[in-house]
Structure formats: C-alpha cells, structure tokens
Chains A and B, each alone.
Chain A
Amino acid sequence: MSEPDPTLPFSTRLWFAWACFFRVLFDATFAARAFAARTAPEQLPPPSSSRAPTSTPLPEHDAPKSIRSVSKASEKLPAPPPADPALQLLALLQRDGRFIDFLEQEIGTFPDVEIGAVARVVHEGCRKALHAHATITPIRTEEEGATVTLPEGYSPSLVKLSGKVQGAAPYKGVLRHRGWRATDLVLPVPVKGHDSTVITPAEVEL
C-alpha cells in the first residue's frame, strides 16, 4: 500500500468537495461517517504530521523527533503511550538524585574531582529511587566473559547475537553483557489536578 500524502493538492480537493456534496446529500451512511470524521483528526493527530501538537508538550529534543521518523516508516504502530509515567520518572530522579540538574549543566569546565563528587550525589539518589520503584534483574546469571550456550528456541528478544551471526541454534558464544530486565516497576502517581510537566518547581525563600 502506498503511503497517503498528508496534504492534498487543491485540484483533488475541489473534485472531492463536489463528490462529497452529493454523497452527503443522498447517502445517509456516508454522511454519518463524514460527520464523525469532522472532529476525529483533532483528537488523534497522525503521528507522521511533523509539528502537530501532542497532548502533552514535551521539551524540544532530538529524541522525540527520531521517534516520529520511526513511526512514519510504519503507519500501523499504535499511538505513543501517554507521557505522564515518563514525566513521573523524571520528577522522581530529579527529586531523589538531582538527575535533570546533572544533565542540564555543562560540565566541560569542571575538574574531574568535582564531577566525581557530584556523581556520588546523583548516583546515590538515583539508585535509591530506582531500587525503591523498580526491580531490575540481569537476564543472564553467568559472569560476563563466560562461555554460554543458547539452546534451540531461545528468545531472541532476551538475547542479542553479535559477531559471526549465522546458522541455527544451538549457539555457543561469549557473554558480553548480562542484559537487564525490569521485573517490576511501580511509579509514583500524580494526584488529580497536578501538572506533571512540572518536574521540580522553582523555589523562592522568604
């Protein structure tokens, strides 16, 4: 199936308007569908429209753009998940581990000693927050560097093959990364009426 153009040329629109005029007048079912379609696109903007406003304004970053280009390749992807849990996670990491402060400051001019000291604060806080809200376990229990055998029917989503990728399972290879898997994740929830886009409020001391 060829991909429909997000915008239609004027000539097509003129013809379509005439066609619709008569079908709406004489075909009750089509009229009902056209009536419903009148409001539908505003609720669900197509992921491919490059600067369409999303339900939650996200900061302008590279990452969301690349997500959009991926979704353009395949129209059948479901709508992106709501941004709230992600914002909750950012707020949590900022609150407990100053994560956003850490990423948003240019660190080029600071000596490694200072960066190391701050990294302790961020590491300790983020780690505590992570462990309190998620259970993350290694996918493989063997030591990295150990030789492992992948039997027939192993899950390719759990184990990624690299190097000379050929033939059929069982595979024998060296474990390079144990992998991580979230076995449990419970995020804080916003109370009704709370603006989740506020990751941390500004503070004024009186």
Chain B
Amino acid sequence: MSARYVVGIDLGTTHCALAYAPIEEGESTAAVEVLSAPQLVAQGTLDARPLLPSFLYLAHASEGPQALPWDAERAFVVGEYARSRGVDAPARLVSSAKSWLSHAGVDRRGSILPLGAPEDVEKISPVEASWRLLEHLAEAWDARFAANDPSLALARQEVILTVPASFDAAARDLTVEAAGAAGIENLTLLEEPQAALYAWTLARGDRWRKEVKIGDVLLVIDVGGGTTDFSAIAALEQDGALELVRVAVGDHILLGGDNMDLALAHVVRQKLVAEGKEIDRWQMSALTYACRAAKESLLNDASLASAPIVVAGRGSKLFGGGLRSELTRDEVTATLVDGFFPEVPATARPSVRARVGLTQIGLPYAADAAITRHLASFLGRQVGAVEKIPGFTPPARRGDAGDRAPKLLHPTAVLFNGGVMKGTALAARLIGTLNAWLSADGAPPARVLEGADLDLAVARGAASYGLARHGRGLRIRGGTARAYYVGIESAVPAVPGVEPPITALCLAPFGMEEGTSATLPPHELGLVVGEPVRFRFFGSSVRREDQAGTELDAWKEGELAELSPIEITLPAEGRREGDVVPVKLHAAVTEIGTLLLEAVPVTPQKPDERWKIELGVRAEG
C-alpha cells in the first residue's frame, strides 16, 4: 500500500523534530503539522514536546528500566530527561551524535561513545546514536498514529530526512544506515538549508514569488545549536518560469549557539571567580542555561543595559549559597557580536589550528569562532558558483567596479535559519558585514527574507518538500554539492621521506542529480581478489567543470579536500584468491540522495557483475 503521509525529520545536532502532512490527491493545500514527541522529561515522567533533544543517556543499573509507553524495559533514555540527567552524570551521556557521524577521523560504526565512559557503560557507535534518536521518533509516531492501523506506521510513510548541506558522501551514507536500522526504508535525504527555504516559501504562501526574482542569489545562513552551514541558491529562468538551483554549499563547521552560551558563561564565571567564589560543574551548567536566557533578552531588546544572572543553591535551600551576577550589554556585544561575528574584510579567512602531535580523539570543533570569517571564506571560494549556469544572469555591478574580477560570490538576499539568528543584533551585524563586502566589490546590498520560523523550519520544510514531490509547490534543483575523486598513486621509484605523487581521478562530477549515473571513466585499476583494497578519496566543492574520467595531476591549494578513504573487497567467488582483477570505478547518485560507488570488472564473469565500494571507512592515522 502506498504512503499516506509525507514526514519530514530534522535530525539535528542538539534537537530533533518531526513534521508531517497528509498526501492528498488534487490541489488541496495540506497543512504541515509538527508531532509532539512523548519522551521522558524526568525519572518516570512522560511529556510530549515538539522538540526531542538529541541526547542519549545510558542509564546505570541502579536506575532501573527507563520505561516508555511502548517499551517497559528500556535501558537508555532519549530526549529531555537524557539531557538533564547528563548534567548529573556526564560520563554516561552521548551528545552531538550527528557531528560524530560526520567525523572522518573515527570508526563511525565502532562502539566509541560516550568517550571516556566508565567500564560498566556499554558503549555505542555514532551510527547507533543517530539510529536511537530516529527510532524514538518512529516509535512516537507509531504510538500516536499506527496503534490501530499498521498501514500508518512510519516505516510505510514517505520520510524526508534532512542532513547538513556540508555532509559528504560517507556521512550521508551513514545517516541512511542509521535510518534503516530505525526501520525507515522509504527515505529521501534533503539538505537542511534547502529545507529552510522550503519552510520559508510555505510560511509566505504565494507572496514569496514576489520576493524572489530571476537573477537572485539566495544565501542561506543556518546557525544551529552545534553547527553552522552555508548554502547559495540561484533563481534562474527555465522555460519562462522561475527555477531555484542550489549552486554551492560550505564546509562542515562545528560551531553554533551552544558555543556562544558557553562563551558567555565563561565571562560570568570569570567575574564570580574574581569575587572569590568557586564554580562547580553543576553550577557551570546552570550558569550556561541562565546565560542563554539573558543573551536572548539582551540581543532582542536594545533598551536593556544588563540582564541578571542567578544560579540558585543546588540543595533544597534556595536562599543562601546561590550565585548572583549580571551580564551587561557590553559583555554580550564583546563576546558574541564581536567575538563570533567580528567585522572583518572580505579577504579574511578562518585561522586553522596547527596540528599537534598528540591529539585526543574528539570532535573537530572549529578552531576559529568567527562566523563572519567562515562566511567570507565560503563566498570567496564560491566566487565562480553562478558563472556558468545556463539561464542565470547575475545583477549588474556598479560601473567603476564592473571591470575588476569579483572577489566573492554576490548574494542578493539572505535567509536566516537556526535559533541563534533570533538574536536581532547578531543578524544585523552579519548583514551589515556582508553588505560592506558587497559594496566594496561593487555589488548591490543583500536584503533579508523575512518571516522565517527559525526553530522548526527544517522539519516543516522537509515535509513541505515531500509535498512538492507530489507535484505541489516548487522544487529546488541541486544535485551533489561536490565532485568526487579517487586518489591514484603514480608508479615512480620510491624516495624515502617523500610521498609518492598522487593523481586525482574524477568519478562523479559536481551537481549529479538523484537517480543519475556518471559515465564510466576509461581508467582501469587493479584489485586483488579476497583482500580489502583501500583508495584515498577526495571531494571538491569548487571544481564544477571536471567530468567523470578527468584526471588531475595538480590542483590549487584548498580545491580538493581529502575525505575518509573508500574500500573494496572483491569476493573470491569464481576467481582465485590473490588474482588481480582490472576494474573501472562507476558512480551513481541513488534516489535517496546518496552516492553509490561500484567497481565494474573489465572482463565480467557474469552479466552485470559489480561490487559495491564502502564509503566512510576510518582513516588510518
């Protein structure tokens, strides 16, 4: 039986949400609703909330089962109680599962989380952490809708799962793997900034068509709790109608609202320490929470000079023993507006931390907290993103600057997403800085697309995209945001201490759409039967011209980024172990939206013989 709902799931770094709409025939405009997900909010207490915090708490045996209406024996907690319990017992808490899923430096299928957990904790893999979050949403859905009608189970609906635009092929693959483990099979991936734009068109109704014109370059700036993501979407003319094409995505930046709250908490902590007070871990967590509330009031109300910060005593005695301080406007401006959104020139680039010999395995947090520098880098790298798009005419630049080559991509409108951008002072600084860059480059200033719902936009937008696929509403085209290359070592005599030069063979060109295949490159590679063979793997978000089969001997600094290696194991079936089999590598993009790499033998022993190539293999350090 066919699906009756489209379901959009925002699998966020700090929060998850699920939105849905019925699939109806005809032109009726179905309303997109958000599911209130039942979750434990305290020991033994269940509450339904629209947001499911992306935290997983592995309960100690003494805590007993963490019963849910659909499972009385559960040993772990997902959601609000997991987050609050994690403050009490941090060693048993898994957080930022999504960031781990995109961390190429660890074995993402290996049981590594929580890092540094005590021995009695049964660790889980990053894939399982995401799986458990999705499983909870699926169970909540089934409990609400499918109790009496199995055809309404989430497994049988059309699910749109969002991923950061910056997720590479391996991270997308692992996300699909986690969803499959949670029973979600009928799945399509959608990039979060695109989902935010769909949500915006949904919220604006038909008015949005007046607000976006042919020739616009929309910049989506998505600053979430833990990650920052940029995408550029061009509005162009196709057969006389407006069409949106996603032309560029930024790098994966582990930097978000949580960093800002923590930064403010440190400011207040400094003041309290100066007064001779000691702050323990619990107080620091309460302080961070208090700073978040103070930040929101100060950023949105310009008339406030300061906001009080109070952390009450931890015990049953509220009075006496509490911490009292305040956060002033100057401190918020210095820490957040200037710290995270400094006014920098368009040529500024984020600083990169020097590699230290002994690094602890942890998340690769952004070394530079300045979001404006990351944005300058994105726009600078993507300067050519709209140059060769058929049907696109960029707006004219001012006369005197028109002769110089542009220094950056020129967005004409900005859509904000993520709770952080609710801070009007932050949004104003970001727009001000961007427009200063544009002005210096002779381009007109960018406007802000108003009326976005910043919290639940991604889930809503995903459901809205699901409806669009049924023929209602607009679709953003895009395809893959990177070209993919396999690294081949050149056969040269070894020189000690010098890495053999490597050439990059393009397997999948930029912008491959769902359900398409790349041409088979002419190059043959030799694979050894029965042994796993690894190749270095690269992606480029700027090389738009390379076709499958293009071979690169040299490339500019930063054009290619190394991804986690790929691995092929040829089964011995029908061949002798140790034999070398010549193969060609073939790329396709599945309907789900993942990259599929296969090895196709030059001399197949049976029709259509091919082997899947594993993405997301742990890099050997």
A interface residues (Cβ-Cβ under 8 A, vs B): 88, 91, 95, 98, 101-102, 104-105, 107, 110, 114-115, 117-118, 120-122, 124, 132-133, 186, 188-195, 201, 203
Contact = CB atoms under 8 A, between A and B. Distances in A.
Interface of B: 40-49, 67-69, 72, 88, 293, 308, 310-312, 316-320, 322, 324
B312 A201 contact: no
Contact of A124 (B44, B72, B293): B293
Nearest to A120: B310
B45 A101 contact: no
Contacts of A104: 316
Given A117-B308, A117-B310, A203-B88, A190 B317 contact: no
Given A117-B310, A191-B68, A203-B88, A101 B316 contact: yes
20 contacts: A91-B45, A95-B41, A98-B318, A101-B318, A105-B316, A114-B319, A114-B324, A117-B324, A118-B310, A118-B318, A120-B308, A120-B310, A188-B46, A189-B47, A191-B40, A191-B67, A191-B69, A193-B67, A195-B44, A203-B88
A107 B44 contact: no
Given A118-B322, A192-B72, A101 B317 contact: yes
A88 B312 CA distance: 23
Contacts of A120: 308, 310
Given A121-B312, A191-B68, A193-B67, A115 B319 contact: yes
A110 B320 contact: yes
Contacts of A186: 48
Contacts of B47: 133, 188-189
Given A102-B318, A195-B44, 8 more contacts: A95-B41, A101-B316, A105-B317, A118-B322, A121-B312, A121-B318, A122-B318, A194-B43
A3 to B, nearest CB: 42
A102 B49 CA distance: 26
Contacts of B41: 95, 188
A172 B44 CA distance: 51
B540 to A, nearest CB: 46
Contacts of A133: 47
A90 to B, nearest CB: 12
Given A107-B319, A120-B308, A201 B293 contact: no
A194 B44 contact: yes
B45 A189 contact: yes
Contacts of B88: 203
Nearest to A99: B318
Given A117-B324, A190-B46, A191-B67, A105 B310 contact: no
B515 to A, nearest CB: 43
B317 to A, nearest CB: 6
A105 B308 contact: no
Closest 3 CB pairs of A and B: A194-B44, A188-B47, A117-B310
Contact of B67 (A91, A118, A121, A192): A192
Contacts of A121: 310-312, 318, 322
A118 B43 CA distance: 25
A114 B319 CA distance: 7
A125 to B, nearest CB: 9
B318 A105 contact: yes
* Residue among B40, B72, B312 with the highest chain A CB neighbour number at 10 A: B312
A189 B293 CA distance: 27
A181 B254 CA distance: 45
B318 A193 contact: no
Nearest to B311: A121
Given A101-B316, A194-B43, A117 B322 contact: yes
> Which residue of B69, B293, B318 has the most chain A CB atoms within 10 A of its CB atom?
B318
Q: Specify which of B44, B311, B317 lies most central, judged by the most chain A CB atoms within 10 Å of its CB.
A: B44
A118 B318 CA distance: 7
A91 B324 contact: no
A91 B308 contact: no
A136 to B, nearest CB: 18
A99 to B, nearest CB: 10
Contacts of A192: 67, 72
A122 B313 CA distance: 12
Contacts of A191: 40, 44-46, 67-69
A61 B310 CA distance: 31
Contact of B320 (A114, A124, A189, A190): A114
Nearest to B69: A191
A181 B542 CA distance: 59
Nearest to A188: B47
Nearest to A95: B42
A114 B320 CA distance: 8
A203 B89 CA distance: 12
B44 A193 contact: yes
A91 B47 CA distance: 13
Contacts of B318: 98, 101-102, 105, 118, 121-122
Contacts of A188: 41-42, 45-47
A79 B42 CA distance: 30
A105 B319 contact: yes
Contacts of A193: 44, 67
Given A114-B320, A115-B319, A117-B324, A88 B45 contact: yes
B43 to A, nearest CB: 7
A195 B40 CA distance: 15
B530 to A, nearest CB: 51
A120 B324 CA distance: 11
A192 to B, nearest CB: 7
